[in-house]
């Protein structure tokens, strides 16, 4: 019986991914409804379940794409890859109320600047506390605390070694997963309940994957506002990282 399904599943990875994700979300909604009486959003449980499955997949295969590295679930890598993520984020713009977004454009920019500089300072500070003194290493780890794309791009631009770049990627990945997991938990504390607040959040929390998953698990209607700002985060970080921020670190520590 199972072998009958083996071939269709392996031959149709994307379709399998649709069915699988649907099942995960259905189970998550049931859990949210019956176990937590709707106090925890079904999508928050689904994102957590996804991360848990990713851990399991990574533990089995020893590769980097979580469950996507298991042949039967290969379609998840396509469905959850950058192409589909960005395409569906753009689609959510159809639900944006222009007046709401206009009200907070300048706030979004302020948040973007803070969301780049603050994590960078923390990253540099932690690396310094652990005994690193080389400006290139400090900058690369600091840039990793902005996003896991800014880290390696900055590191490559200023000539960091590959183990430092790997460390900066790990920093970014940890941050992104923290944003995914803790945003719904901290949503009330952050007053994350209106479009302008979502734009501030998108700029400060950075990392598109973290922001998009965190907001999705909090309130779907806030997603486009947060994403609108967050999508500028990586580009902005890559602009500042190897230039102003590196020069500042160099001036301070050498």
Site for other proteins in 142-171 (CB under 8 A): 142, 144-146, 149-150, 153, 156-157, 167, 169-171
Q: Which of 22, 53, 28, 27 is nearest to 42 (CA)?
A: 28
Query: Structure tokens of 119?
Result: 């994590």
| Euclidean distance between CA atoms 115 and 101, whole angstroms | 19
Residue among 65 and 250 whose Cβ is closer to other proteins:
65
Q: Are 123 and 144 in contact (CB under 8 A)?
A: yes
Residue 127 makes CB contacts below 8 A (sequence gap 6+) with: 137, 138, 141, 142
| Euclidean distance between CA atoms 16 and 74, whole angstroms | 9
Site for other proteins in 97-116 (CB under 8 A): 98, 100, 103-104, 107, 110-111, 114-115
The alpha carbon torsion through 201, 120, 90, 194 (nearest 10 deg) reads 0
In a 10 Å sphere around its CB, with 0-12 CB exposed, 13-18 middle and 19+ buried, how is residue 189 labelled? Answer: exposed
| Euclidean distance between CA atoms 245 and 254, whole angstroms | 14
Residue 17 phi, psi (nearest 5): -60, -40
Residue 103: CB minimum distance to other proteins, A: 7
Compute how many residues bind other proteins; rule: CB under 8 A.
136
Q: Is position 175 an interface residue for other proteins (rule: CB under 8 A)?
A: yes
Residue among 114 and 252 whose Cβ is closer to other proteins:
114
Residue 97: CB minimum distance to other proteins, A: 9
Q: Is position 133 an interface residue for other proteins (rule: CB under 8 A)?
A: no
Site for other proteins in 177-236 (CB under 8 A): 177-180, 182, 184, 186-197, 200-201, 204-206, 208-209, 212-213, 216, 218-224, 227-229, 231-232, 234-236
Q: Which of 109, 119, 87, 90 is nearest to 196 (CA)?
A: 109
Q: Which of 36, 47, 18, 31 is nearest to 223 (CA)?
A: 47
Q: Is position 248 an interface residue for other proteins (rule: CB under 8 A)?
A: no
Residue among 110 and 250 whose Cβ is closer to other proteins:
110
Site for other proteins in 29-88 (CB under 8 A): 29, 32-33, 37-44, 46-55, 57-59, 62, 64-68, 73, 76-77, 79-81, 84-88
Residue among 170 and 250 whose Cβ is closer to other proteins:
170
Residue among 4 and 129 whose Cβ is closer to other proteins:
129
Residue 135: CB minimum distance to other proteins, A: 16
Q: Is position 140 an interface residue for other proteins (rule: CB under 8 A)?
A: no
């Amino acid at each position: 019986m199972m072998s009958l399904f083996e071939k269709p599943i392996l031959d149709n990875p994307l379709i399998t991914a649709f069915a699988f994700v649907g099942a995960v979300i259905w189970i998550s909604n049931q859990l949210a409804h019956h176990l937590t009486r709707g106090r925890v959003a079904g999508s928050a449980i689904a994102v957590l379940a996804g991360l848990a499955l990713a851990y399991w997949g990574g533990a089995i295969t020893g590769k980097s794409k979580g469950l996507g590295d298991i042949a039967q679930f290969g379609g998840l890598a396509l469905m959850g890859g950058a192409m589909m993520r960005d395409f569906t984020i753009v689609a959510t713009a159809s639900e944006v109320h222009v007046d709401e977004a206009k009200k907070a454009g300048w706030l979004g920019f302020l948040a973007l600047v803070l969301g780049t500089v603050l994590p960078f300072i923390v990253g540099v500070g932690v690396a310094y506390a652990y005994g690193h003194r080389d400006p290139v290493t400090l900058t690369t780890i600091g840039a990793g605390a902005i996003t896991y794309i800014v880290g390696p791009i900055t590191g490559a631009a200023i000539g960091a070694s590959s183990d430092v770049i790997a460390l900066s990627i790990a920093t970014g990945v940890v941050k992104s997963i923290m944003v995914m997991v803790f945003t719904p938990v901290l949503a009330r504390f952050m007053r994350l309940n209106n479009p302008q607040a979502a734009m501030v959040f998108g700029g400060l929390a950075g990392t598109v994957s973290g922001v998009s998953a965190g907001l999705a698990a909090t309130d779907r209607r806030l997603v486009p506002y947060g994403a609108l700002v967050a999508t500028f985060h990586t580009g902005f970080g890559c602009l500042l990282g190897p230039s102003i921020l590196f020069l500042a670190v160099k001036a301070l520590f050498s």
